[in-house]
Amino acid sequence: MAYMKRSPWIIHYDGSSCNGCDIEVLACLTPLYDVERFGIINTGNPKHADIFVVTGSVNEQNREVIRNIYEQMPQPKVVVALGICACSGGVFRECYNVEGGMDKVIPVDVYVPGCPVRPEQIIDGVVKALGVLEEKRARMKSGAPAEATV
């Protein structure tokens, strides 16, 4: 069976964000932007997902949940950090309960800043993630681990 490199399945999780980026993720799926026409589906099951779209600045309680979702996803997998909160903590950076950035918890491949991110930016980020996914798949095919060691 041919490998479908243009129709990734996505899992979305709100890692302590304000909702703004999350409703824009949903807006991508609905008629104006409609990424579902390319076969991109928002799934609720981590084991079905290729791309982890995650928002928010991550608080104490959410850390384990995010890590669980990430670890349950099969290789190759790509993490897209959506919004300035997921990139660096954003306006909440100095709050007492936030980690300040998704990369403190899981490895992030694509950063999409913005407050909130626009649907066009989200789509752009996911397209970029497709390239990363392809690289990781090629690496796995050659027998190397999907995640490049730095």
Q: Which residues bind other proteins (CB under 8 A)?
A: 12-14, 16-24, 26-27, 30-32, 43-45, 56-57, 59, 61-62, 65, 69, 91-92, 94-98, 115-116, 118
118 or 139: whose CB is closer to other proteins? 118
Q: What are residue 14's phi and psi, to 5 degrees?
A: -90, 100
Least separation in angstroms between CB 116 and other proteins: 5
Q: How far is CA 93 from the centre of its chain?
A: 20
| Shorter beta-carbon distance to other proteins: residue 98 or 110 | 98
Provide the minimum distance between the beta carbon of 103 and other proteins in the complex, in angstroms, as a whole number.
18
Which secondary structure element, helix H or strand E, spans residue 81, and what is its range? strand 78-82
What is the number of other CB atoms lying within 10 angstroms of the CB of residue 138?
12
Nearer to other proteins, 61 or 142 (CB): 61
Query: CA-to-CA distance for 34 and 27, rounded, in angstroms?
Result: 8
